[in-house]
Amino acid sequence: MSSEKDSRDEASFQQLIMTFAGDIMAHSVNFTMKDYNRIYSDVGTFLHSDDLTFGNLETPITDILPCSTYPRFNVHHSYLHAAIDGGFDVFSLANNHSNDQDNAGIYGTLNAINSLPSYIYANGLRIKVEDSITPVVIKKKGWTIVFLAITEILNSHDPSAQLVYYSPPTTSGRNALIQRIEEITAEYPNAFFVLALHTNEPEYVRTVSNSKREWCIRLAHSGVDVVWAHHPHVMQSWEVCEVAGKNRLFMYSMGNFISGQRYTANIENPEADREYTGDAVLLRVQVEKAPNTGTLDTFVVTPIPITNYRDPDHGMVVKLHTDTFIESLPKKLRNYYYKRLELMEEYLPILP
Reported as a single tens digit per residue, the pLDDT across 283-329 is 999 998 766 556 666 789 999 999 999 999 999 999 999 999 999 99
- Domain locations in the chain? 4-347
Superfamily of domain 4-347: Metallo-dependent phosphatases (3.60.21.10)
DSSP-derived pairing of the beta strands 279-289 and 256-258? unpaired
CA 174 – CA 168 distance, rounded (Å): 7
Segment 156-178 shows an average pLDDT of: 97
CA distances from residue 342 to 261, 269, 294, 327, 351 in whole angstroms, order as listed: 20, 14, 41, 15, 11
pLDDT of 95 above 90: yes
Q: Lowest-pLDDT range, 216-225, 294-303, 337-346?
A: 294-303
Q: What are phi and psi of 217, to 5 degrees?
A: -65, -40
pLDDT tops 80 at residue 7: no
Question: Quick check: 211 pLDDT over 80?
Answer: yes
pLDDT in the model for residue 291: 64
pLDDT the model gives residue 178:
98
pLDDT of residue 71: 97
- On the question of pLDDT at 62 being above 90, the answer is yes
Whole-angstrom distance, CA of residue 41 vs CA of residue 248: 32
Integer Cα distance of 278 and 108 in angstroms: 28
For position 13, what pLDDT does the model report?
A: 58
pTM assigned to the model:
0.95
> What is the structure's pLDDT at 31?
98
Confidence check: pLDDT of 1 > 70: no
Query: Quick check: 138 pLDDT over 80?
Result: yes
Mean pLDDT of the chain: 94
